[in-house]
């Protein structure tokens, strides 16, 4: 599932490929994906170009060369953005030979034929390059946003956990104002810290040796510091490795490993704890979310 590291990886990939390219065509096969209406999006994009791509939390914001509108894209749970260069289509379809750039949910496979049965939107550039939006569960969206829409969307996000604004002091302040919250709820709250999702919350809690079911107000100073370090560590390491959902891509590119190989508790229910090796990882349904922890290591 795309969380901050996955979305950041997509952002970086697209920054290298689509910026400045003149948009020739926008095809929308599932209109409900475009929150602001497919026609308005097409009108605004065709003949225009993306000039920058920013990320806030898990939201991507594309700025446009003409006009002051921007395009907001959220992958939610199963969205994928795949950039397909024109040359690839005529030269070689074998994996790894092109410069296909992609990210998001790993199913369907990133190297499957495009457009696929889950392709809902295609941006075609004058160069012949194409940007495909796939979304199996159709929860994600595209939105042509006015300056006000954009500001409203941005106002809902808390601090970027990998930015210089996210300091230990800042984190402690956040904790102090949420002492009555459950830790997992607090960490998942995008208005407090932007970009953490279910996977990295469980991972960060494991690294910090704190159970996600704890009340924020019960955390010792030592545990708060450990959590701060854990959040930074887990996210930055995953960005380095291009996220958790990029196994296929990394193998193709010849890179070693990806963050899925470094997950310590997520998806390890009933398997031995990688720290104490004495206890099996617990998985419970907590606040509606699958929650993993080691009952021995995390108090």
Catalytic residue ranges: 2-3, 58, 289
Q: Site for DNA (CB under 7 A): which residue of 16, 93, 137, 165? A: 137
DSSP string, 260-284: GGG-SSTT-TTSBPTTTSSSBPEEE
**Nearest-approach distance from CB 180 to DNA, in angstroms:** 5
Instruction: Give the residue among 72, 49, 245, 41 at the shortest CA–CA distance from 129.
Output: 49
> Are the CB atoms for 83 and 134 separated by under 8 Å?
no
Q: Site for DNA (CB under 7 A): which residue of 138, 146, 229, 251? A: 138
For DNA, the binding residues in 40-59 under the rule CB under 7 A are 57-59
The residue among 48 and 189 lying less far from DNA, judged by its C-beta, is 189
**Nearest-approach distance from CB 58 to DNA, in angstroms:** 4
3-state secondary structure 56-122: ECCEEEEEECCCCCEEEEECCCCEEEEEECHHHHHHCCCCCCCCCEEEECCCCCCCCCCCCCCEEEE
Strand partners, 141: 74
- Judged by CB under 7 A, the stretch of 8-16, 83-91, 196-204, 236-244 that binds DNA is 196-204
Give the binding-site size for DNA (rule: CB under 7 A). 34
Positive or negative, the Cα torsion across 278, 274, 234, 12? negative
Question: In whole angstroms, what is the distance from residue 222 CA to residue 184 CA?
Answer: 18
**Nearest-approach distance from CB 125 to DNA, in angstroms:** 28
Question: In whole angstroms, what is the distance from residue 157 CA to residue 161 CA?
Answer: 11
Question: In whole angstroms, what is the distance from residue 47 CA to residue 22 CA?
Answer: 6
Instruction: Give the residue among 51, 109, 59 at the shortest CA–CA distance from 82.
Output: 109
- Judged by CB under 7 A, the stretch of 18-26, 74-82, 91-99, 273-281 that binds DNA is 74-82
Q: Site for DNA (CB under 7 A): which residue of 178, 238, 245, 282? A: 178
Q: What mask of x and - would describe binding to DNA in positions 228 to 247, judged by CB under 7 A? A: --------------------
Question: In whole angstroms, what is the distance from residue 14 CA to residue 7 CA?
Answer: 11
Q: What mask of x and - would describe binding to DNA in positions 4 to 43, judged by CB under 7 A? A: ----------------------------------------
**Nearest-approach distance from CB 167 to DNA, in angstroms:** 21
The residue among 87 and 136 lying less far from DNA, judged by its C-beta, is 136
- Judged by CB under 7 A, the stretch of 17-25, 73-81, 164-172, 249-257 that binds DNA is 73-81
The residue among 5 and 13 lying less far from DNA, judged by its C-beta, is 5
Buried (b) or exposed (e) across 26-61, using 16+ Cβ within 10 A? bebeeeebbebebeebbebbeebbbeebebbbbbbb
Q: Is 112 in the site for DNA (CB under 7 A)?
A: no
Q: Is 116 in the site for DNA (CB under 7 A)?
A: no
- First-to-last C-alpha distance (Å) of the chain: 27
The residue among 18 and 174 lying less far from DNA, judged by its C-beta, is 174
Positions in the binding site for DNA (CB under 7 A) = 1-3, 57-59, 74, 76-78, 107, 136-139, 156, 177-178, 180-182, 185-186, 188, 190, 197-199, 283, 285, 287-290
């Amino acid at each position: 599932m795309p969380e901050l590291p996955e979305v950041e990886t997509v952002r970086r990939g697209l920054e290298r490929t689509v910026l400045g390219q003149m948009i020739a065509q926008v095809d929308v096969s599932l209109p409900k994906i475009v929150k602001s209406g497919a026609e308005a999006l097409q009108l605004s994009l065709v003949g225009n170009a993306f000039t920058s791509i920013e990320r806030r939390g898990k939201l991507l914001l594309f700025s446009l060369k003409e006009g002051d509108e921007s395009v907001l894209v959220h992958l939610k749970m199963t969205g994928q953005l795949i950039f397909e260069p024109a040359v690839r289509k005529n030269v070689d379809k074998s994996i790894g030979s092109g410069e296909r750039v992609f990210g998001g949910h790993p199913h369907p496979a990133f190297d499957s034929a495009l457009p696929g049965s889950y392709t809902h939107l295609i941006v075609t550039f004058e160069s012949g390059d194409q940007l495909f939006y796939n979304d199996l569960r159709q929860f994600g969206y595209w939105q042509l946003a006015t300056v006000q829409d954009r500001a409203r969307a941005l106002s809902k996000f808390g601090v970027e956990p990998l930015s210089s604004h996210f300091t230990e002091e800042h984190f402690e302040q956040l904790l102090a104002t949420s002492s009555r919250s459950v830790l997992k709820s607090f960490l998942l709250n995008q208005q407090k810290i932007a970009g953490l999702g279910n996977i990295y919350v469980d991972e960060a809690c494991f690294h910090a040796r704190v159970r996600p079911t704890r009340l924020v107000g019960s955390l010792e100073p030592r545990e708060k510091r450990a959590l701060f370090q854990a959040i930074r560590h887990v996210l930055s390491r995953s960005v380095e490795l291009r996220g958790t959902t990029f196994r296929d891509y990394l193998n193709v590119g010849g890179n070693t490993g990806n963050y899925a190989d470094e997950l310590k508790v997520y998806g390890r229910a009933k398997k031995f704890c990688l720290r104490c090796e004495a206890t099996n990882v617990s998985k419970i349904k907590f606040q509606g979310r699958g929650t993993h922890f080691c009952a021995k290591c995390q108090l």
